[in-house]
Structure 1
């Protein structure tokens, strides 16, 4: 099992607003906050830490199709929960990726929602 993931972000406040809201929908909560970062966790599962990128590194923007992380995927219980997340995203003006293929953008038997965070990291919620 994964212990934690650390992600550098371009704007800590935007990232906190986005991630605490969207992951709050599936039971994550803030477990730590400090001047240049925060952590979100859920029960005994792994946690995510977000750190404000250093100014000297900020000129190198992230792109999910380059070397490195492509996306983060989270399991959610049931298709109705995925649908609820989609409705929440619409209400929060969060764009849904591949919306024309929803909910089967990942394949005919793969019920999932895809969105992007403020730094364009793709985030997936898949029904289990």
Structure 2
């Protein structure tokens, strides 16, 4: 019984010494995405009285990363809306129509620092 306890104590001590050498850090950040957006609609694509127009779109979000030694996991979330603008090209004219679609993007990324990147 004493040998078993001694073996358990040595194994626990060895594991604790190895755990002391582990690097651990957290990283957080805010994100903003701005760019061009366009939505496709088959009904409008076939109609000669309507045309597509490229419009701008913005998203906001953040990230949280948990890293240890050479590995890590990062969770990124972006919230905003996609927009599509349709232009009336008929003879009578008319106003343009803008469509907004709310969107939420959540990414779970694995990080391997030995290769200096995310996968």
Task: Specify the structure having the higher radius of gyration (Cα).
Answer: 2
TM-score by length of 1: 0.20
TM-score by length of 2: 0.21
